[in-house]
């Protein structure tokens, strides 16, 4: 059996699969995010480790006697986070997360200092990436920067806790802006632009390769063999791609989690930074991927639920009762609660409802949120197509995949068949377990099969004329917001 651990933003998720690829059991432990100042987003890495221990304890009970048959562990996790360790491997400050936007000024600085950044890293400098975070620390917390001996990504911090080794892999490393993405190696020039060297960086492997073993003491504590290996693993989206079987050129999926991702597999490095399209290494050798990313997706619905004091289940059931005419007059929602990446690269973008009246009901607000996130995905798909990506169908995964109504809306907005899969909500944890299986010698054709299809949602032409009109209005509202900010409002 194979264990997958996914270090998400809101939860540590764990699961075990058997050598037929079936999910045996799952368990998770919730996490909290600290926002001590506007635009900041941080977590204490110690919280990740405690949550991992809690989830593993629960998972072990669920699996029962066969738990000891686990042969390998795969890791997945939120990308771009900066865990800073000193020479004694003490964490120097809370981890600055992917959705932290404080380093906008440092992005401009990095672009000026490294004019070949986009060509090497395949991406524009954005506040979510790791490199600008280190420039921010150097400027605002110089004593912390001076003590920094190692920089680890979130899942790789868990690997260090599990194995004592500092190792990363290509898909996650590509999100730092320090990787030469075409060559799949650290870039000395990009590191130097941030005052760093290879000595600060973990060793690199492919995601499907062995990358350490469990410490003997931890293996005994977990009731596992000391020979259990840890795979390189993958950043959350690349690992999710492995979990959904998106490993061949042309495969694509949408993930609706805290953030929203449209992911397309390529057989070569195909950067298009001008439109804020991400070009990263995949978690398996000889594969890359393009990705559009919106910073707020299913988390926008959770935000609305908290404001209204209603559960997601309740709101989604109310949305499903709205008629087409009620949807047509619903408010429009800009989903930029944490700024935005693709296609705007705008950390200052904000969320808003437009078109509220005395008669607006909460079901219409919930509809507007689902639609606004779907429109954000349409913006991302538009620039992927302009970058040369051709999509014929998309799998849907993440928490948002649990809503058939949202899946149909996504098909209508994108004018694309949307497919949900059995176990699609497992996401990165399933992909992590599969990468563990590959590291243990599994064959890719066997390990990376697409999970069974649950349902296929086809575009409804009857809704598309209305949606296209509302999408044009949605895009106009963002442009108006940007113009107003340029005028100082």
Instruction: Tell me the per-residue pLDDT of 284-294, one tens digit each, with 9 for 90 and over.
Output: 999 999 999 89
Q: Do the domain assignments include residue 433?
A: no
Whether the per-residue pLDDT at 424 is higher than 70: the answer is no
> What local confidence, expressed as pLDDT, does residue 438 receive?
98
Tokens linked to 281: 């290494």
Residue 106 lies in a domain: yes
Measure the CA–CA gap between 242 and 281, rounded to whole angstroms.
13
Q: Specify the pLDDT at position 75.
A: 98
Q: Tell me, yes or no, if 267 is annotated catalytic.
A: no
**Tokens linked to 410:** 């996504």
Mean pLDDT across the stretch 394-410? 89
The pTM for the full model equals 0.85
The DSSP line for 437-478 is: HHHTT--HHHHTPPPPEEEEE---HHHHHHHHHHHHHHHHHH
Band the pLDDT of 175: cuts 50, 70, 90.
Answer: very high
Domain residues for the domain of 15 are 2-244
Identify whether 237 is part of a domain: yes
Check: CB of residue 127 under 8 Å from CB of residue 278: no
Going from the C-alpha of 378 to that of each of 237, 384, 416, the distances in angstroms are 18, 10, 10
Separation CA 211–CA 165 (nearest Å): 8
Predicted confidence at residue 133, as pLDDT, reads: 98
CATH number of the domain bearing residue 57: 3.30.420.40
Residue 427 confidence (pLDDT) above 80: no
* Residue 387 reports pLDDT greater than 90: no
Nearest of 396, 338, 335 to residue 370 by alpha carbon = 335
User: Distance between terminal CA atoms of the chain?
Assistant: 57
Please report the pLDDT score of residue 166 as a whole number: 98
CA atoms within 13 A on the CB side of 248: 6
Q: Is the pLDDT of residue 478 over 70?
A: yes
Identify the residue with better confidence: 58 or 274.
58
**pLDDT tens profile 434-463:** 999 999 999 999 999 988 899 999 999 989
pLDDT at 483 over 80: yes
DSSP 346: B
Is the confidence at residue 433, as pLDDT, over 70?
Answer: yes
125 contacts 111 by C-beta, under 8 angstroms? yes
- Mean pLDDT score, 136-145: 98
Q: Of the listed 6, 100, 156, 236, which one is catalytic?
A: 236
Q: Give the model's pLDDT for residue 399.
A: 76
pLDDT (average), residues 200-209: 98
* Residue 146 within any structural domain of the chain: yes
Q: Which of 113, 136, 428 is nearest to 253 (CA)?
A: 428
- Domain count of the fold of the chain: 1
Per-residue model confidence as pLDDT tens digits over 219-247: 999 999 999 999 999 999 999 999 999 99
Q: How far apart are CA 290 and CA 202, in angstroms?
A: 24
274 pLDDT above the threshold of 80: no
Task: Report whether pLDDT(275) > 80.
Answer: no
- Residue 323 pLDDT grade (very low, low, confident, very high; cuts 50, 70, 90): very high
Strands (E), 250-407: 252-256, 260-266, 278-281, 288-294, 332-334, 352-354, 394-397
Q: Is the confidence at residue 426, as pLDDT, over 80?
A: no
pLDDT at residue 352 tops 80 = yes
- Whether 454 is covered by a domain: the verdict is no
- Band the pLDDT of 297: cuts 50, 70, 90: very high
d(CA 54, CA 38): 31
Residue-averaged pLDDT of the chain: 94
Q: Which of 225, 14, 195, 228 is nearest to 113 (CA)?
A: 195
**What proportion of the chain, given as a percentage, has pLDDT over 70?**
99
Nearest-CA neighbor of 288 among 391, 125, 170? Answer: 170
Tens digit of pLDDT for each residue in 84-122? 999 999 999 999 999 899 999 999 999 999 999 999 999
In a domain, 128, yes or no: yes
Residue 47 lies in a domain: yes
Asked if residue 169 lies in contact with residue 206, where contact means CB atoms within 8 angstroms, the answer is yes
Decide: helix, strand or coil at residue 320.
Answer: coil
Residue 71 pLDDT more than 70? yes
pLDDT band at 425 (very low <50, low <70, confident <90, very high): low
Parallel, antiparallel or unpaired: strands 11-17 and 278-281: unpaired
In angstroms and rounded to an integer, the radius of gyration of the C-alpha atoms of the chain is: 22
In a domain, 435, yes or no: no
């Amino acid at each position: 059996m194979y264990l997958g651990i996914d270090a998400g933003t809101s939860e540590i998720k764990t699961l075990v699969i058997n050598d037929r690829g079936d999910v045996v059991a799952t368990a998770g432990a919730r996490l909290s995010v600290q926002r001590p100042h506007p635009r900041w987003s941080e977590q204490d890495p110690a919280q990740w480790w405690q949550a991992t221990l809690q989830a593993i304890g629960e998972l072990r009970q669920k699996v029962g006697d066969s738990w000891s048959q686990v042969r390998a562990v795969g890791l997945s996790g939120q990308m771009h986070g900066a865990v800073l360790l000193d020479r004694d491997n003490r964490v120097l400050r809370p981890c600055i997360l992917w959705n932290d936007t404080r380093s906008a000024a440092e992005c401009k600085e990095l672009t000026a200092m490294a004019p070949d950044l986009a060509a090497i890293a395949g991406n524009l400098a954005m506040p979510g990436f790791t490199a600008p975070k280190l420039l921010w620390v150097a400027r605002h917390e110089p004593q912390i920067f001076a003590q920094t001996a190692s920089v680890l990504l979130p899942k790789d911090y868990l690997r260090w806790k599990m194995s004592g080794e500092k190792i990363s892999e290509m898909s996650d490393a590509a999100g730092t802006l320090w990787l030469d993405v075409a060559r799949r190696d650290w870039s000395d020039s990009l590191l130097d632009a941030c005052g760093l060297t290879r000595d600060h960086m973990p060793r690199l492997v492919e995601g499907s390769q062995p990358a350490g073993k469990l410490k003997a003491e931890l293996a005994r504590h977990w009731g596992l063999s000391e020979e259990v290996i840890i795979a390189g693993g993958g950043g959350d989206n690349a690992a999710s791609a492995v979990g959904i079987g998106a490993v061949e050129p042309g495969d694509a999926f949408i993930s609706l989690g805290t953030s929203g991702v449209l992911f397309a597999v390529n057989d070569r490095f195909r950067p298009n930074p001008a439109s804020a399209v991400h070009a990263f290494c995949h978690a398996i050798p000889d594969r890359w991927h393009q990705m559009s990313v919106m910073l707020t997706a299913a988390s926008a619905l959770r935000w609305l639920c908290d404001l209204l004091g209603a559960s997601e289940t309740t709101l989604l059931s109310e949305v499903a009762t709205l008629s087409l005419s009620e949807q047509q007059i619903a408010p429009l929602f800009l989903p930029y609660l944490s700024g935005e990446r693709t296609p705007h690269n705008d950390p200052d973008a904000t969320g808003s409802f437009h078109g509220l009246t005395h008669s607006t009901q909460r079901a219409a607000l919930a509809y507007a949120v689902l639609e606004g996130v779907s429109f954000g995905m349409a913006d991302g798909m538009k620039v992927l197509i302009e970058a040369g990506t051709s999509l014929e169908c998309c799998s849907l995964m993440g928490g948002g995949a649990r809503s058939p109504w949202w899946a149909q809306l996504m098909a209508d907005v994108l004018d694309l068949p949307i497919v949900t899969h059995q176990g699609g909500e497992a996401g990165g944890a399933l992909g992590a377990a599969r990468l563990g299986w590959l590291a243990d010698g599994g064959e890719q054709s066997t390990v990376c099969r697409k999970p069974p299809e649950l349902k296929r949602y086809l575009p409804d032409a009857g809704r598309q004329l209305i949606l296209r009109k509302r999408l044009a209005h949605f895009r106009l509202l963002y442009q108006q917001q940007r113009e107003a900010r340029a005028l100082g409002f």
